[in-house]
Amino acid sequence: MKSPEGFATLLLLSLLPVILAGGLLVFSAFSIFKTDLGTLNLCRARQLEIQNKVAKKLERLLKLNPQALKLRLAEARAQKALALASKSANAAAIAAAEAFLLKVQLQRRALGLKQEALISSANEDLASEGKELPRRLRQEWDFHSRAVKPWFEGTLHLGPRRIPSLAVAADLKDAAPVYQPVPGFEEAQAWSQTWEWDVRTASWARTFLKFQGRFERSCSTSIYSESTAWSAKLKKAKSLSKGFS
């Protein structure tokens, strides 16, 4: 008759594959969650940081609109004053009117350059980080998945992305126009990045647990108005997992 110790040993050996499979399953779920969350959080954080920088430049651009309107009206008045002075044939009055008109025109050109610089800087921020973000995501994914590579095999596939420009439009083709957000600004300003990754147990571990899954992820942000302030917020993004086996 077998001893209780021998029976316990046989029972433990028979349950060992189940125990290993259960442990590997818990470990895999935690690792997948950690890798997924780390990559997603990085994408959101980088997008929000850059979009908030762009939002500040948008605020500054819009705050220049009253000055743009004021100088536009000033130029119109200066042109009328010059026309009246020209009719009077008064050389001094003509010279004064021309000098004032030139002064206003130079002020408008300076303002126009300031507006263009803000738009250009915002677009450079978006374009630069838009190109950099995929590299950062791959780096983050590699960092989190490094610890589980002996047990799991995975591949990250970066998908389509949409990098916006500052979604504003000028009211007129002018030296210093009035800029306003385009209709449907939140959609036009949306920045999105998609990716998917495959994960499966390593060949040696499939004896205990056969697991394979494909995960699709994306993050998206835009800029939203709150009274006179503008700030970046998350947009609803797709989050799916499929192909489990």
Look at the chain and report how many structural domains it folds into.
1
Burial of 199 per CB tally in 10 Å (0-12, 13-18, 19+)? buried
Distance CA(192)–CA(166), nearest Å, equals: 14
Average pLDDT of span 177-192: 96
- The pLDDT of residue 239 is 46
Q: Flag whether the pTM goes above 0.75.
A: yes
Residue 15's pLDDT is 46
Task: Domain of residue 47: give its range.
Answer: 4-242
Q: What is the pLDDT of residues 26-73, one digit of tens each?
A: 555 566 667 788 889 999 999 999 999 999 999 999 999 999 999 999
* Helices 4-63/65-88 angle, 10° precision: 20
Q: Residue 52 and residue 44: Cα distance in Å, rounded? A: 12
